[in-house]
Chains A and B, each alone.
Chain A
Amino acid sequence: MKAKTSNAPLITLALAALGLIGAEVTLYLSYFYTPVQISAGTLYVVTPSSGSTINLYESYRIFFIHLPAAYATALCCTLAAVGGIAWLLTRKDAWQALIVSASEVGLATGAIVLLTGTFWADYAWGSGRIGSGWNWEPRLTTMLILWLAFAALLVLRRAMDTDKQRAMMTAVYGILLGPLYPLVSKAIEIGQTSHPKSFSDLLSAPEIATTKQVATIGILLALVSMVALRYCWNRLGQRMAQERAA
């Protein structure tokens, strides 16, 4: 337990440094390495059962932020559920800190996914005006719900009367978050969807495929380091509360 708390800041620093480098490299690659396509060309996304393919022009670059943020949200959702189960089994404070950190960062990364997604959708599905791309498509809607669930966990936690109830509610709601992620990931298979399902056309350009790999690792590391940072912060808060009580 003691070794764990003393290691956490170091791991966080290492993750943050790697994440910073990864994010910078991703930004560089996505602007200077990936091909420019001004006129209608070969870079398309496959559109859904309804409608024709959309020429992406330059809009595909937002994808290098959107995808890692979506992965990070999935990871936060999983961490919250795992933390909930682990806390109920072991009753160690560290798991509480993990659930809270995962929900806080999940709220941020979920917002990034929703915002980058809708900005792109305004261009690709809508008329270009803000909000015109929001079409209540299953993936959008379930992602918004997952985001609301992260918010609900943090609100519920604050509202509880005693520390014990707070911990219990956090763990139980963390577990309830678990089934939501499979729903988000399966949402593109339910009913009509305009969310792209396959990126094979886009990824056939080797520069784009490489940048996607780098972005996935780099940006994901940056976002994971945020979870680690919040974890250290929440652990510190727990220890201060313990010392104040003693």
Chain B
Amino acid sequence: MRTKTLITSMGLFAMLCVVIFGLGVKGLALDETFRRFVLAALWVCTWFAAVVGLNRAAASDRNKSFFSALMLLPFDPALVYLVRLVSTLVWLVITQALLVLLAVPMLKFDFFSQPLMLAVALMADVGILALGVLLASATGRLRGGEALLTIALLPVTVPVFLAATGATEALHTGSGAAEAWPYVLLLGVCDAMFLALGLLLFGKLNEG
């Protein structure tokens, strides 16, 4: 049941992102500016899709007191964190895939010409969700926590955002993979650091 609602809402979300974006830039010629806008839109939509996904998961946890029950079980909190991370990651990747599949024909988005983009997208998702899962576990318990998560998550995930947009730009504006590598490296460093922080702090943030 939960799976079905999540898929539907995230699919519709992806569709609406593409439609709203298409409406916003209607009349813009298919030139350099247009392509840059599409690349930026991919990351803006991914980021908000991550927030929507995290909030939805937190909301259903709150309704069923599922999360408090989970934390009472004799598992290492780091394990709970990893499971949450993987499950949210699956949903974000599905949404992103839908987003790209719609954007390729509708926004003339040339995603698949650069295979490295797949790695960049996955790494960026991990980076955003590593902190997202950590912060959502605290904000999810509050009324009005949805808005709080947005406020809390953006500033701290900016390194990921910066690296992802940098890599995308390098890959799609002709400079090629050589120029994208420093950004991919930055993404890797951010992922490692945020995952370590998440694993260390998740148990502390949710204790007692």
Which of A's residues lie within 8 Å of B, judged by CB? 88, 138, 142, 145-146, 148-149, 151-152, 155-156, 159-161, 164-165, 168-169, 171-173, 175-177, 179-180, 183, 190-191
Contacts and interface: CB of A to CB of B under 8 A. Distances in A.
B162 interface: yes
A74 to B, nearest CB: 16
B154 interface: yes
A19 B208 CA distance: 43
A146 B155 CA distance: 7
Contacts of B155: 145-146, 148-149, 152, 180
A151 B139 CA distance: 16
Which of B148, B155, B166 gathers most chain A CB within 10 Å?
B155
12 contacts: A145-B158, A146-B155, A148-B154, A152-B154, A155-B148, A156-B151, A159-B148, A165-B141, A168-B204, A173-B156, A179-B156, A183-B162
A144 B123 CA distance: 25
Which of B135, B139, B152 gathers most chain A CB within 10 Å?
B152
A88 B166 contact: no
Interface residues of B, number: 26
B184 to A, nearest CB: 14
B158 A142 contact: yes
B134 interface: yes
Contacts of B166: 190-191
Q: Is the interface of B mostly helix, strand, loop or mixed?
A: helix
A145 to B, nearest CB: 5
Contacts of B142: 159-161
Contact of B204 (A146, A148, A159, A172): A172
Given A168-B204, A169-B138, A169-B205, A159 B144 contact: yes
Contact of B205 (A138, A159, A168, A183): A168
A155 B162 CA distance: 24
Interface in B137-180: 138-139, 141-142, 144-145, 148, 151-152, 154-156, 158-159, 162, 166
Contacts of B136: none
B185 to A, nearest CB: 12
B97 interface: no
Interface string B90-132: 0000000000000000000000000000000000000000010
A183 B189 CA distance: 12
B12 interface: no
Given A88-B204, A172-B201, A156 B154 contact: no
A173 B152 contact: yes
B39 to A, nearest CB: 15
Contacts of A138: 162
Nearest to B151: A152
B143 to A, nearest CB: 9
